[in-house]
Structure 1
């Protein structure tokens, strides 16, 4: 059973999946930075200085000024985090779409067989001579 598990775990697909998960985790940090440090300030500027990270509805406790304080006070709906994560998802989906599109284009280019190189003139002439000699 251990041998079978090792064979299963070391198959190419499992190793590729593990590498994909590790790269995905690293990519997640990068995308979070792009969303939080680049896009959200621009969106906040366009919408008049709205800070999505501090948008919430407090359901319990006394009203608080920040999301962290509101969460400590009780039940809180942090819809600003949802907006940030939705933008994050759209960016990730778009980047993955572009990567898959590029990979499909590269795959199609590889599938098209390259033209075989044309034989040199002397080889063509020798074939013609051979074919003429082979005729009865």
Structure 2
């Protein structure tokens, strides 16, 4: 059983999958950084200086005690983080589209299929049948 597990783990597909998962995590971090540190400030600038990550709908205000400590934290729907996640998804999808498109373009085209030798047309066959029937 241990030998079968070793053979399974050492196959090319499992190793390829492991490399792909690790690279996907790294690409995810890069894209998240790109979205949050580069794209969102630009979008926020054109949206009137809004930081989407801070956008929220407050359901109940925080309750602060007399000594300044928070007795009850604020309850809010943080929809700005969701907007960031949607933009992140669109960018990741676009990057994957570009990668797959480049991969498909780099594949060698299949060998051209040789056409079968052209036979007689339907009219020529009918003429041959007619001539054969006349004889």
Tell me if both proteins adopt one fold, taking TM over 0.5 as the criterion.
Answer: yes
Give the TM-score taking structure 1 as reference length.
0.69
Distance across 1 between alignment mates of 2:73 and 2:6 = 50
Cα 1:75/1:10, change in 2 over 3 Å:
farther
Partner-residue secondary structure (3-state), 2:25: helix
Partner of 1:101: 101
Aligned pairs, number: 105
Cα 1:108/1:11, change in 2 over 3 Å:
same
Distance across 1 between alignment mates of 2:63 and 2:47 = 24
Aligned-pair Cα RMSD in Å: 2.1
Query: Which runs of no fewer than 5 residues in structure 2 stay unpaired?
Result: 65-71, 113-135
Cα 1:82/1:63, change in 2 over 3 Å:
farther
Give the TM-score taking structure 2 as reference length.
0.70
Q: Residue 112 of structure 1: CA displacement?
A: 4.6
Partner of 2:73: 73
Query: Which runs of no fewer than 5 residues in structure 1 stay unpaired?
Result: 65-71, 114-136
- Asked whether the equivalents of residues 63 and 74 of structure 2 are also in contact (C-alpha less than 8 Å), the reply is no
Distance across 2 between alignment mates of 1:108 and 1:88 = 32
Greater share of helix residues, 1 or 2? Answer: 1
Q: Residue 38 of structure 1: CA displacement?
A: 1.2
Greater share of strand residues, 1 or 2? Answer: 2
